[in-house]
Every structure is written in C-alpha cells, then in structure tokens.
Amino acid sequence: MTNLAVNSAAGAARSIGWRIPLLFGGGVVILAFLLLISLMYGEADITPGQVIGALTHPQDSAAHQMIRGIRLPRAVMGLLAGAALAVCGALLQTVTRNPLASASTFGLNAGAYFVIMAAAVFVPALKANAPLLLGLAGALGAAAMTYWIAGGKRSTPVRMAVAGMIVGLVLSAFTSALQLLFETQASQLLAWGAGSLIQNDWSGVQYAWPWIAGALLYAMVFARAFDLLELGEETARSLGQKVELARFSGMAAAVLLAGVTVSVVGPIGFVGLIAPHLMRLLGLRRHAILLPASALWGGIILVGADTVARMFRSSVGELPAGAVTAAIGAPWLIWLVIKTMKGRQSQEGGTSMSVGAIGRRLPYPALVIGLLVLLIVLMTGGLMAGTLRLSAADIGQVLLGGGEPFARNVVMDLRLPRILVAAFAGAALAIAGSMMQGALRNPLADPSVLGVTSGAGCGALAVLVLWPQAPAMMLPLGAIAGAAGAAVCVYAFTWRKGFHPAALILVGIGVSAIGTAGIQFFVIKSGIAAAPALAWLAGSTYARGYAEWLRLAVVTVILAPVAWGLGRKIDLLAFGDQVSLGLGLKLQRTRLIATAIGVALAATAASSVGSIGFIGLLAPHAVRLMIGHHHRRSVVLSALLGAVLLVAADFIGKTVMAPKEIPAGIIVALLGTPYLLMLMYRSAVRK
C-alpha cells in the first residue's frame, strides 16, 4: 500500500512534469538576474562588466573588493536564508498539516530573536561566540510553548497558528522591554532585529551554510515520509509510517533552519509562507521536488526583497529586508486565510477559544465596589510616589485646595493628569476589547491582535517622522487614521465570511504585519531619534497632561454608555448567528456599530498613551471568568479593571527602577503574559 500511495504521488508529479524543468530552469535564470542586480545596486554605481570581471578575473581595485567582500556575501546570505526559511515553512506546514504555518506565524523567529537579544544585553560574550545555540534555544522554546498552549495533540491547525501568533506577540513585548531598558546594548541590534542581510565579510556565510545545507539534506532523507504525512495520521500509520519519527524529524529540521537564520540575519517573516504555497499552487506535492523548489524560490524572494530594500537608500536610508518581506507577505497571508476559510460559516468555532467561568460567580455589586476601592488606593499611591515622596495628608490637603505650593504643583500639574490619563486609557482599551470580543464571539479579538494597535502606531510614527514640526493635535489624528485604516482592511476582508473568528484573527495578524513593516520603516528612517519612537510604541504615560486626559474623557464618556446600551444585543450574539437572526437581531449592523466603538476607543487610547496591548484582551477575560456572559456588567467591570491594570502598571513602572521609568505598556505585557498563557492552555485543555 505504501508503494501505491507513493506511486500515486509520482503519477501526480508526472502530470505536471513539464512545469518542473520550467520551474527550476526559470528560477535559476531569475535568481541569476537578481544576483546581478544585487551586486550592481548600492551606494556606489557598479556596471555589469565590473561585476563579471570581479567574479571571473578579480583585481585589487576598490570596486572588485566591494563586490567580492561585501555585496557577494550579502547576496549569497540572502540565497541561503531565503532557502532555509522556505524549507522551514514547508516542513512546518507538512508536519502540522497547517497551511498557515511558517517560522514567523509559529513564533520561532520571535523566540530566537528574544533569546539572542537577551544574550546581547546580559551575556554579550555568549552572543558573540554561540549565536546558533541561542537561536536554537529560542526557536525550540517558542515551538514548545506554542505546542503546549495550543493543546498538544488535541490542537487544530487554526488553534496552533493562533497560539503561535500569541507567542510571537508576547515574546516581541519582552524584546521591546529589553530594547528600551538597555538602549545602549540593544541599539546595535536595531536594524538586525528587523531582518537585515548586511554582511561585511564571508564569516556569516561560512558560519551558516554548513548548518543550512545539513538541515536541507536531512529533510530530503525523510521526503517520502513527509509525503505520507500529508495523507493523514491514520492513513500514514496504516501504511507503516512511523508518524512520531517523521514529525520529530521535520520539526527538528525546521527549528534548526529558523535558529540558524535568525542568528545571522535576524527575524525575517513570511518567506516561509509564500514560497511553499507558490510551489503547491503550481501542483508540486512530492517533497523530493517541493523542498528544493521551495528553497530555490525562497532564495529568489529574499534576494529580490533585499534588492528592493536598497532602492530606498538614497531617500530614507536602507530598509531592512524583513520590512519588505512583511509588506509583501502580509497580503499573501490575508489572501491565504480567505482562501482557506472559503465556505466556512461564521458560527463554526465562534466560541472555540472560550474558557468558561469559575465555578462560583462573584456578586456584581461587590466586584464594582472592590475595584473602585482598589482604583482609588492605586491612584492615591500614584500621587504619593515619585522623586518627591508625599504623604497621604499632603495629597489630601492639595486636593482640597491647600498644601504647599511646590507640592500642589507636583500633584496637580504632573502626577494627577498622568494618573487620570492612565485610568481612562485603561478603561477605554478594556471596553474596546469587551466590545470586539462580544460582537465577534471571539475571546482573542483584542485591538492589538486585530491590527488596530499597530495601525495606530504606524499612523502616529508617520506624523512624528515625516512631519517633525507638526502641531500636537496631528499625532492623535495620525493614530486614529492608522487605526481606522487597519480596522477597515480587516473587516472588509472578513465581511463576506461572516466575521469567522479564525479568519478575523489571521487577517488581523496580516494587517498588523503591514503596520509593523511601516513602523520598522519609520523607526529606521528616524535614525538617532529612534528612542522616542520606541518609547511611544512601548506605551507610556510619561509627561501626559490634561489635554490627553480631556480627549480620552470625552470619547470614553460618550461611547461607554453606547457600549453599555448594546449589551442585550451582544448577549444575543453569544447564541450564534442563526439563533440571533431568528430573534430578529440585525447581525451586520450590530457588529459594525460594536466594532466601530471598539476601534474609536482603542485609537483614542493609542493616540494618548501609545501602543499598549493586552489590556483589551485580559480585562474582559478576567471579568467573564468572574461573572460569566453578561455584556452590560462586563462593560462596567472591564472599564474598572482596565483602569486598575494601567494605573497599577504606571505606578510600578515609575517606582521599581526609580529614577528611571519603565513604560507602562511593558509592565502590562510582563505581568499579563503569565495570565495569557494560562488562558490559552486552559482553553486548549477544555477542548
């Protein structure tokens, strides 16, 4: 039977046999052309004749030395890295039977990058001497974390992909924390962290090629086993295949390829998603052909992306290749999600990530009072803490109109507006998350996961970088425009799918990747002024005043009652689309209004405090665990809990390393990660 299965695959390969020589022959021609362009293009003009002369009859000239010592290693590194990432993606897609799998969507790149960044900060000698070990450790850790929180063998392809994306978001938050807290040590890795092929000699190529070649050959040994895996686990076992060995081999090769690549060129996404799918769209199924073809075209994609990136050098400085691949690959991911979800209905899996509630629900009035008291205590502590420590009596006197002039100035002009901004921003983000999760019946529908936060960040940075002298009001307008644009893209692509939860999240990740590519573009363009941009992206309440608070207060006070008023309609959505329609609910209108409220609140918060994630995800979840599904109560409690979380994060951030401050967004990410991982795992266990 094994021979029959393999012969069937061989028959399919013969049916497209004419394409294979064209695929490889044409690929080699395209690659040769791109390599020539890559060697010619740069700060110094190089002619084709000089390139050919440097390769065939090298001389001791500046042009030849530049070609052979700098540009050629860079081009070869692009070929190797592209091949490695493409084969990594092909293996992950086969082993997990998940068409959305790649090193970037599974968090492998983020894991390797985080560990290497941590080593560069804390153990620079280890980073210099053992980057491969660090990259492997990070990629392996991210893979294990993704597998664990997705539920292991009980996981589904979509659940595994969503888990990988969440792991990537979490690790990226930790990496951002290191970049901001250790700016000097991490500054040298800023461009590398966005994915850069820059090589100053052949050392990177000499280091990487044996590992990449070895992993590719190792994967080719199991090509027939991978063919059987695509028939399904039960079928593969019945044909005598050792499924566990094949999966372990494929995953090991994928992790090795991802770890080696990140250790040399940084995290570069989407190559492993695009190249294998291109090959499969052309009809390639046998891994003996699929893997080398993916490697060839992965190299073509990355060398081409790097060449395009260098075209921006003259006007904005050189872009990292990773930003270009993200801009190209994110639309591909969106198209792939739409294609994968074709024919699925919105009610499928609408609550597939639900974690339920605790066995004994807590009384609503007690929760409101408790959160209010906690918020008041934290706000009082925030008014007291700082370089100048004040007593509770001092705070009371100032708030009543008395107190010393200096203390009154510190409290009323510096600390109070900052705390009010934190409270209202936290409330706005939490209500936004509650609206999105309720309207879309998707507990992962957080503004940051859906691309709204990265869109706001991209819009705000565009104003900061392209218009440095812009009026202060333009920054929030840029953030709101970016967030609105991201939301429009997400909902436009998923509207006809009935807002299928998995499609919504995955399209949101694609839109978020486009926003992230834009952010990388503006951060690199800002050059030495990158630190303020990174601080804004991390989310900070530092130096916020009454203007930001007033903007937040007006929007929140207007939209929060509207969100509360939609409570009964959103409660109906929890029963599914068919039941809701039967009860007379206008689905599209309800979802449009609810999500528009969420986008407006999230965009306003981002315009005031920067990109703060996780609050819109964590606060509504925690509330549902305490009271179950009751949207009106959830809006009130989520707002209070969101305010508590951000005020507490602001208090911790300005006291734990005083006088140096940690942005509140980083504190939220650090404290929220354990809860988020527990949430994902509990969801998987329930399934």
The more confidently predicted of residues 5 and 489 is: 489
As a whole number of angstroms, the distance between CA 429 and CA 612 comes to 9
Model pTM score:
0.79
As a whole number of angstroms, the distance between CA 615 and CA 676 comes to 11
432 pLDDT tier (thresholds 50, 70, 90): very high
Question: What is the predicted pLDDT for the residue at 456?
Answer: 86
Question: What is the predicted pLDDT for the residue at 527?
Answer: 58
352 pLDDT tier (thresholds 50, 70, 90): very low
349 pLDDT tier (thresholds 50, 70, 90): very low
pLDDT above 90 for 484: no
**Lowest-confidence pick of 107-116, 277-286, 495-504, 632-641:** 495-504
Q: Give the rounded percent of residues in the chain with a pLDDT score beyond 90.
A: 25
Question: What is the predicted pLDDT for the residue at 153?
Answer: 65
Residue range 480-500: mean pLDDT, rounded:
80
Query: Using one digit for the tens of pLDDT, what is the confidence trace for 372-412?
Result: 999 999 999 999 987 778 888 888 888 888 888 888 888 89
pLDDT above 90 for 649: yes
Question: What is the predicted pLDDT for the residue at 12?
Answer: 47
For residue 395, give the nearest of 661, 386, 548 by alpha carbon: 386
Question: What is the predicted pLDDT for the residue at 185?
Answer: 73
DSSP string, 549-594: HHHHHHHHHHHHHHHHHTHHHHHHHTT-HHHHHHTT--HHHHHHHH
**Lowest-confidence pick of 6-15, 301-310, 440-449, 606-615:** 6-15
As a whole number of angstroms, the distance between CA 134 and CA 660 comes to 29
- Residue 7 tokens read as 């012969």
As a whole number of angstroms, the distance between CA 341 and CA 3 comes to 33
As a whole number of angstroms, the distance between CA 628 and CA 360 comes to 10
For residue 301, give the nearest of 273, 281, 339 by alpha carbon: 273
Amino acid at 187: S
Residue range 635-639: mean pLDDT, rounded:
96
Amino acid at 64: H
Residue range 318-323: mean pLDDT, rounded:
77
Residue range 355-384: mean pLDDT, rounded:
83
Question: What is the predicted pLDDT for the residue at 6?
Answer: 45
Question: What is the predicted pLDDT for the residue at 526?
Answer: 65
680 pLDDT tier (thresholds 50, 70, 90): low
As a whole number of angstroms, the distance between CA 278 and CA 55 comes to 32
Question: What is the predicted pLDDT for the residue at 348?
Answer: 43
pLDDT above 90 for 11: no
The more confidently predicted of residues 295 and 655 is: 295
The more confidently predicted of residues 444 and 451 is: 451
356-365, Cβ contacts within 8 angstroms, sequence gap of 24 or more: 356/625, 356/686, 357/624, 357/625, 357/626, 357/627, 357/628, 357/629, 358/625, 358/626, 361/626, 361/627, 361/628, 362/626, 362/627, 364/627, 364/633, 364/637
Mean pLDDT taken over the chain: 82
Domains of the chain with bracketed CATH: 2-340 (1.10.3470.10), 364-686 (1.10.3470.10)
For residue 447, give the nearest of 271, 611, 653 by alpha carbon: 611
pLDDT above 80 for 341: no
Residue range 32-45: mean pLDDT, rounded:
83
As a whole number of angstroms, the distance between CA 655 and CA 553 comes to 26
pLDDT above 90 for 38: no
Question: What is the predicted pLDDT for the residue at 18?
Answer: 67
> Could you tell me how far CA 612 lies from the centroid of its own chain?
13
Query: Using one digit for the tens of pLDDT, what is the confidence trace for 164-206?
Result: 777 887 787 788 778 777 877 776 676 677 788 888 888 889 9
347 pLDDT tier (thresholds 50, 70, 90): very low
As a whole number of angstroms, the distance between CA 158 and CA 156 comes to 6
As a whole number of angstroms, the distance between CA 246 and CA 232 comes to 12
As a whole number of angstroms, the distance between CA 418 and CA 667 comes to 16
Residue range 150-175: mean pLDDT, rounded:
73
> Could you tell me how far CA 98 lies from the centroid of its own chain?
18
As a whole number of angstroms, the distance between CA 595 and CA 630 comes to 18
Question: Which residues fall within 8 angstroms of residue 26, CB to CB, at 6 or more apart?
Answer: none
Backbone Cα Rg of the chain: 26
152 pLDDT tier (thresholds 50, 70, 90): low
The more confidently predicted of residues 333 and 249 is: 249
322 pLDDT tier (thresholds 50, 70, 90): confident
The more confidently predicted of residues 554 and 497 is: 554
Q: Assess whether the previous peptide bond of 58 is cis (omega < 30° from 0).
A: no
* Cβ-based burial of 48 (10 A; exposed 0-12, middle 13-18, buried ≥19): exposed
- Residue 627 tokens read as 């009271």
Question: What is the predicted pLDDT for the residue at 386?
Answer: 79
The SS3 of residue 191 is helix
The SS3 of residue 313 is helix
Question: What is the predicted pLDDT for the residue at 1?
Answer: 41
Question: What is the predicted pLDDT for the residue at 350?
Answer: 42
- Residue 435 tokens read as 């609206």
pLDDT above 70 for 19: yes
